[in-house]
Structure 1
Amino acid sequence: MSGRVRLFGGSSVGGRRPGRHGFRIYVDLVLALTKAAGAAPPPGTVRAAAIAGTARDHLAAHLDQNVTLAALAGVTGTSRFGVTRACIAHFGLPPHALRLRLRLDYGCGLIGAACRWPRRAC
């Protein structure tokens, strides 16, 4: 099977499984090809991007709170599972990992602002 790549859960080059990021690469490829061809994006991609963007904005606005999936579902107007699927499809991360990434980015910004000499802390 060397030389072949299966997209959904199959083996990739070197026998490693693509995992979550392999699917994200596939989604990016499909979107780029449809945009280059002048076709409409696949159904659900625009809505998933809107849901994921709303979830990211809400998480970024409430970094000091533990926002639950139920709260994100209420803000985005979809189910808990819909929020999770949209975040994974758009960012390649589930909502809790996205919240951690936003918190880390915010903390790195604070560390960078507190330093007298410019250097990369994170």
Structure 2
Amino acid sequence: MDVARLFRHPLLPETDLLSAHYVEHTFSPHWHDCYVVPVIQAGAQLYQYAREQHLAVFGSIGVINPGEVHTGMRAGDDGWTYRAFYPPVSYLQKIASDLAGKPVEPPWFPLKVIHDIPLAQELLKAHLLLEQQFPDWLEVETRLYQAMSVLITRYSGIAPVDETSKPIRHVAWMKEVLSSRLEDSLTLEQLAAETGLSAFHAARMFSQQVGMPPHAWRNHLRLNRSLGMLKQGQSISATAAALGFTDQSHFNRHFKRAFGVAPSHWKAA
């Protein structure tokens, strides 16, 4: 049975996001005025693109450039399962310009089927986070921006300019912003704007100098602050809400991952 869900997220208001499993459906020749970035999760898809036939299997990323006619059909009896991004040209062009440190033309991807399991996994993680009702905006934007940056630099030939030699005060200031806005739905673009860096270079500089991306560092700061709040008798739900976790289960999951026990067990001890 064919199942498909098309949705959007406020972080990407002009980007369609598709999660689908197709067995019977066959896409007739068509084209988009945006990019198509699908990641195969299971099965295999056969498609015609650039006057050639291509096969996308588990872990494949079949990037379709804007305006290019293509089809789509199953390559086996079980069909294929995939998640796809449909970002506008302006979105990938902005990331490419951030990478290059100057305005550039929209990236072009000559390779029709990309076999890059680590990159495919990062794109899938970002897609899954975007499907959640209340994701951590900083985390999902950082993951998506970094994954798209890798896609562009590795497969469209746009090389990033090196800004990692800029003063360490940029990272210190980002930490200050993150610390003062623990409960906010802060985005990577907003964080980068505080330093005058592009989103790509802000995330890369922070990760290289701190050892983890901004969203992970902020979550650990939240967790460390939660210990004092729980010790003072504040409830787990109130602590989670005060520190900006999306809900109590989100807090519980991060707490146990960091400290080895659930907040309730730590509080009781």
TM-score (norm 2): 0.25
Runs of 4+ deviating beyond 4 Å: 43-46
RMSD: 2.3
Alpha-carbon offset, residue 102 of structure 1: 1.3
| Inter-partner Cα distance in structure 1 for 2:197 and 2:231 | 37
Alpha-carbon offset, residue 44 of structure 1: 4.5
Kept in 1: contact 2:182–2:218 (CA 8 A): yes
- Counterpart residue type for residue 76 of structure 1: T
| Inter-partner Cα distance in structure 2 for 1:72 and 1:114 | 33
| Inter-partner Cα distance in structure 1 for 2:171 and 2:177 | 10
TM-score (norm 1): 0.53
Alpha-carbon offset, residue 109 of structure 1: 2.2
Mapping 1:1-122, distance limit 5 Å: 44-45=164-165, 47=167, 49-114=168-233, 121=266
CA deviations on 1:47-75 (whole Å, 9 max, x unpaired) are 1x211111110010001112110001111
| Inter-partner Cα distance in structure 2 for 1:90 and 1:112 | 32
Report SS of the residue matched to 1:76.
coil
| Inter-partner Cα distance in structure 2 for 1:89 and 1:81 | 12
Q: Which has the higher helix share?
A: 1
| Inter-partner Cα distance in structure 2 for 1:66 and 1:98 | 15
Q: Which has the higher strand share?
A: 2
Q: 1:90 to 1:113 in 2, by over 3 A?
A: farther
Report SS of the residue matched to 2:171.
helix
Which has the bigger relative contact order, CA under 8 A and spacing at least 6?
1
| Inter-partner Cα distance in structure 1 for 2:232 and 2:184 | 23
Report SS of the residue matched to 2:232.
helix
Unaligned runs of 5+ in 2: 1-162, 235-265
Indicate the structure (1 or 2) with the bigger Cα radius of gyration.
2
